[in-house]
Amino acid sequence: MHRWEPWFLFCGDPEFAESQLLKAFEASSSNAERASLLQLLSRLGAWNSLERLLQNHPQLLNQADGRAALFHWQAAQAHPNPWLALLPSSEQAPFLHQWKEKLSRDGGPIQVQLSGGLGDQLEGLALMADLPWRSRLQLVFPAGGEHALAPLLQQAPSSLQPWRFGSVDPAQPWLSLMALRAVVADAQWDPQPLALFSDLRRNEPDPLLVVCWRSKVDLRERLWAHLRSLPFAKVQAVYRWLLPWAAQQGVKVLDLTAYREQETVALHQLPAAQQLSLRAPSLGSLADTARWVGRAKLVVSVDTALIHVAHAVGVPRWLLLHRHPDSRWQQRLQQDGSSDQRELKVLQQTVQEQWQQPLAQLRAGLGA
């Protein structure tokens, strides 16, 4: 089902978009529609408006979209366990009690349904590898992802077995990835995502820079991809200085972004275009991507699966991050001392939809 995403969300003026969403909220008499509008406000980072509406309309927390908006607001406020907000309030305490009992007394297997995009699934896999009861987890990946993900999973450590694609068995204990995060946060564990495929990293990397400038578009939520991605004009502007720098340094740039045909033609006409290789159409699976990443000195990407592949392989990565990211980056940005931060450099927007500052930091960091 497609979410209602009107034109003004994509106009580059977040304040105007917020004002229009608030007008739509006041005009609506449907709790389901109002909860959906709360979710859109959370994507824009309209935290003050969101907090006020959540306080004045608590009945919207009976809607899944209302609880998702509360989750995003709590994550932005550094709440210790925002994932619990995804459950109705009446279910939160019984849920935690049930799983505390199960984890402390019952030694049986627990299914974990991994969901979301490929990056979400990879990050969930890396986090679970560092849990104290990892041996009890049975990982279930969404059906349909076999072609993209299975070749990489076959190279994962044996400790991550068993895993399969499909659906959980509802007759057996199971958790969604978000529910597992709620249990972990309540127990005050702090698992660090592990580099599970570090064997793919070369000891002597090639002079290779792997990049991705756009997130894959989810037709159910186009706004999220839009906010995370560079407009094509910005990509062209970056390449006008990046490719001459690459030619000077003897560096090849491997771009995994999916482009339209006319955009590909335009990129091949840029100065020093011989340094650029567009490989997105030729990559069959994440295992192919991981092999290329393992050869690279550095990965530069917006918030997409590539940044998680780079972590899984253990390659240094620079993340071009939008102004109001999702919960995983909110949490990661609050963990400056974590081991993961040594290999991760975050270049974040200070103003929604304005990429000038992070791109200037990128250029300065490369010495270009």
Domain ranges of the chain: 7-77, 89-186, 198-366
Query: Do 63 and 54 meet the contact criterion of CB atoms below 8 Å apart?
Result: no
- 222-249 burial code (b ≥16 CB/10 A, e <16): ebbbbbbbbebeebeebbebbbebbbee
Query: Residue 250: which region, alpha, beta or left (left: phi > 0; alpha: psi -120 to 50)?
Result: left
Query: What sign results for the dihedral spanned by CA atoms 299, 300, 301, 302?
Result: positive
Residues in contact with 119: Cβ distance below 8 Å, sequence separation at least 6, in sequence order: 303, 304, 305, 306, 307, 308
Residues in contact with 204: Cβ distance below 8 Å, sequence separation at least 6, in sequence order: none
354: its two tokens? 């304005």
Which CATH code, of 2.40.40.20, 4.10.93.10, 3.40.50.2000, 3.10.450.50, is assigned to 198-366? 3.40.50.2000
d(CA 95, CA 227) in angstroms, rounded, equals 34
DSSP 314-368: T--EEEEE-SS--HHHHHHHT-TTSGGGGTEEEEE-SSTT--HHHHHHHHHHHT-
* Overall average pLDDT of the 203-221 stretch: 89
Confidence bin at 334 (pLDDT 50/70/90):
low
* Overall average pLDDT of the 21-50 stretch: 96
d(CA 160, CA 157) in angstroms, rounded, equals 6
pLDDT at 209 over 90: yes
Query: Do 77 and 107 meet the contact criterion of CB atoms below 8 Å apart?
Result: no
Kind and range of the H or E run holding 77: none
How high does pLDDT run on average in the chain?
Answer: 90
* Overall average pLDDT of the 70-79 stretch: 92
33: its two tokens? 């529609």
What was the pLDDT predicted at 338?
44
pLDDT at 337 over 50: no
DSSP H helices in 28-87: 31-43, 47-56, 64-76
pTM over 0.85: yes
- Which of 5-19, 51-65, 121-135 has the highest mean predicted lDDT (pLDDT)? 51-65
What was the pLDDT predicted at 332?
65
Tally of CB atoms within 10 A around 99: 20
- Tell me how far apart the terminal alpha carbons of the chain are, to the nearest angstrom: 44
Q: E strands, the chain, where? A: 110-113, 137-141, 163-165, 174-176, 208-212, 252-255, 276-278, 298-302, 317-321, 344-348
pLDDT at 196 over 50: yes
Confidence bin at 1 (pLDDT 50/70/90):
very low
What was the pLDDT predicted at 273?
97
* Overall average pLDDT of the 30-47 stretch: 95
